[in-house]
Amino acid sequence: MTLIPRLDMAALDAERLDSLTKGLPFGVSSMRIGDVGKQGWSLLDGDIPMPAAVIREQVLLANSAWMRDFTAANGLLIAPHGKTTMSPRLFDLQIADGAWAITVATVQQMQVCRRYGVKRVLFANQPVGRLAVDACMRALREDEAFELYCLADSEAGLAFLAEAARRNPPPSANPLRILVEIGFEGGRTGTRSRAGALALAERVAETPGLRLAGFECFEGVLPTPQAADGLIDDVAELARIAIEEGLFPAGSPVVISAGGSAFFDRVGERFDRVSFSGPVLRVLRSGCYLTHDSIGYAKAFERIQAETTLNLPAGGLKPALEVWASVQSRPERGRAMLTMGKRDVGFDAGLPVPLGWYRPGSGMEKPQPMPAGHEVVALNDQHCHMVLPPDSPLEFGDLVGFGIGHPCTTFDRWSLLFLVDEAYRVTGALKTYF
């Protein structure tokens, strides 16, 4: 396994924010992202317009380090899914903590990686369309130090890749690396049988410009960890067979990989049950561990802590991403409306959870935990409906911090997120590329 180099810090700091960027204080002119942390802004002092997406930097760093330790302790690698955050600054943090590659879902996401210097990308999809596949081939030619893995799951898809490699051949020393994708009936992409996957792998192995690099699946669409076991086992078993059949070129790493953030313990456990006759890289692709969440992944991690037979480092994942909003109206005793909506926070995996509140200018030392009985009941595009207990302390102008579910669909609402310390002072910022 080759480590990939850190990203270009100067380029990251030089990324510019347009003055119209949502989240930037009004009236601030175009600003270098590297300057945001130098302004002395404090969320609790009202220096940041509401709503705002903030990441508690200390929690973020601890999560990243936890995953580094977890993978190291269990013979795993991680190629974190970059689509979650689409923040090159966070890719760099993940690389600093040993990420083997950055995973992406689209060519545009791969291009973001390339601009900032990511040298190994796992494009966890089958390229489709001339523009997409040509961009992949061009990337391999333009930078022979850039390694690209992508998926194939069908004869039609492979024929398309083969034709692209004929038309637009990658350097012989830097072929397009292919992971054969394994799926399941009623699932997403991926071959539906072991025989089909193996036949496809054989075809990949003999296609000029392509290199068979391994097998993978995405188990995250399955409802339970138990349901995922069979699929994960297929990935490992097919790699074992393909190694025995001599399908992989000598000296080239064999990759087995699976995808989600909910069952990553099962991936590690099942991959560990198979004995291979050569070296194999066991690659997780979880993306959400980095900020974690306050709803679904929080629950999934409790299960992992209770059940897994893997080595778990001390501590554990904690929610780092919060969205803050202002109380805009208290129109009824039992109801508050806040300045946050579908435009600002994910709602596809649970409505946001109020965690704490603060009254700017009141002299309160820090945010207070949200008393029981406060609950988000609806989001409109730009409004949050919250029901309150009779003795709710909330007034017009108060700030409320929310935990979120599914980081992917909150990150993609923001081109600017703030890094904050535990007193919610702004220590830096992230620019995203959705």
Q: Is 60 helix (H, G, I), strand (E, B) or coil?
A: helix
Q: How many residues bind a second copy (CB under 8 A)?
A: 75
- Please state, as a whole number, how many other Cβ atoms lie within 10 Å of the Cβ of residue 381: 8
- Residue 183 vs 403, nearer CB to a second copy: 183
Name residues contacting a second copy, limited to 370-389 (CB under 8 A).
380-383, 385
- Residue 218 vs 248, nearer CB to a second copy: 218
Question: Does residue 363 interact with a second copy by CB under 8 A?
Answer: no
Distance in Å, CB of 310 to a second copy, minimum: 26
- Please state, as a whole number, how many other Cβ atoms lie within 10 Å of the Cβ of residue 275: 8
- Residue 107 vs 228, nearer CB to a second copy: 107
- Compose the 121-160 pattern: x for residues touching a second copy by CB under 8 A, - for all others: ----xx-xxxxx-xx--x--------------xx-xx--x
Q: Are 277 and 236 in contact (CB under 8 A)?
A: no
CA distance 243 to 414: 44
Question: Does residue 169 interact with a second copy by CB under 8 A?
Answer: no
Closest CA to 31 of 21, 20, 17, 41: 17
Question: Does residue 424 interact with a second copy by CB under 8 A?
Answer: no
- Residue 318 vs 385, nearer CB to a second copy: 385
Closest CA to 177 of 201, 207, 213: 213
CA distance 433 to 280: 33
Question: Does residue 358 interact with a second copy by CB under 8 A?
Answer: no
The angle formed by the CA atoms of residues 323, 93 and 211, to the nearest 5 degrees, is 115
Which letter does DSSP use for residue 401 in this model? E
CA distance 323 to 339: 11
Residue written as tokens 């699976």?
258
- Residue 75 vs 360, nearer CB to a second copy: 360
- Compose the 402-421 pattern: x for residues touching a second copy by CB under 8 A, - for all others: ------xx--xx--------
- Residue 110 vs 281, nearer CB to a second copy: 110
Name residues contacting a second copy, limited to 26-85 (CB under 8 A).
26-27, 46-50, 83
Name residues contacting a second copy, limited to 208-227 (CB under 8 A).
221
Q: Are 214 and 257 in contact (CB under 8 A)?
A: yes
Question: Does residue 347 interact with a second copy by CB under 8 A?
Answer: yes
- Residue 280 vs 351, nearer CB to a second copy: 351
Question: Does residue 364 interact with a second copy by CB under 8 A?
Answer: no
